[in-house]
Amino acid sequence: MAKYSKGAQKKVEKAMHEKKRGQLKSGRSGKTVKSRKQAIAIGLSEARKSGSKVPKKKGASKKSASKKGASKRGASKRGASKRGRSKKSASRSKSSRSRSKGTRRKSASRRK
């Protein structure tokens, strides 16, 4: 069974020809399309609008279970590296925090 209908194939073919001639423009900006993938995407979106048989877009929010686990593992590794930072950098950040708190207290006392 075919994934794409004949109408959809023709729309993509037409978009590719326009791209080759330099006549294919992108949606909002109206710039000339130079990418092959962009031309195909435009052709498919036109086919969807006309009601041709085209598979649904792959959503960016959908992730497979293995990818989710990998991203969690990466996050836990990043957290461990923060805990093991050098004493110098830790002391620097503490001193900068105390300075900022001191300036806040002074300004609060001035207001009173």
Task: Please tell me which residue, 109 or 58, carries the higher pLDDT value.
Answer: 58
The average pLDDT across 15-21 equals: 95
Mean pLDDT confidence for 13-26: 95
Write out pLDDT tens, residues 35-94: 999 999 999 999 999 999 998 888 876 666 666 667 666 666 666 555 555 665 665 655
Q: Find the domain containing 13 and state its range.
A: 6-50
In a domain, 26, yes or no: yes
**pLDDT given for residue 59 in this prediction:** 82
Note whether residue 101 is domain-resident.
no
Residue 99 within any structural domain of the chain: no
Number of Cβ within 10 Å of residue 52's Cβ equals: 17
**What is the rounded average pLDDT of the residues 23-37?**
93
Containing 5, the helix (H) or strand (E) segment is: none
CA atoms of 50 and 100, how far apart (whole Å): 60
Whether 70 is in a domain gets the answer no
User: What SS3 state is found at 61?
Assistant: coil
The angle formed by the CA atoms of residues 30, 31 and 33, to the nearest 5 degrees, is 115
Write down the pTM of the prediction.
0.49
Structure tokens at 23: 């006549």
Note the pLDDT of residue 84: 59
- Assigned domain for 111 exists: no
Is 78 within a domain? no
How many separate domains does the chain show? 1
Q: Is residue 75 part of a domain?
A: no
Domain contains 59: no
- The CA distance from 20 to 40, in Å, is 12
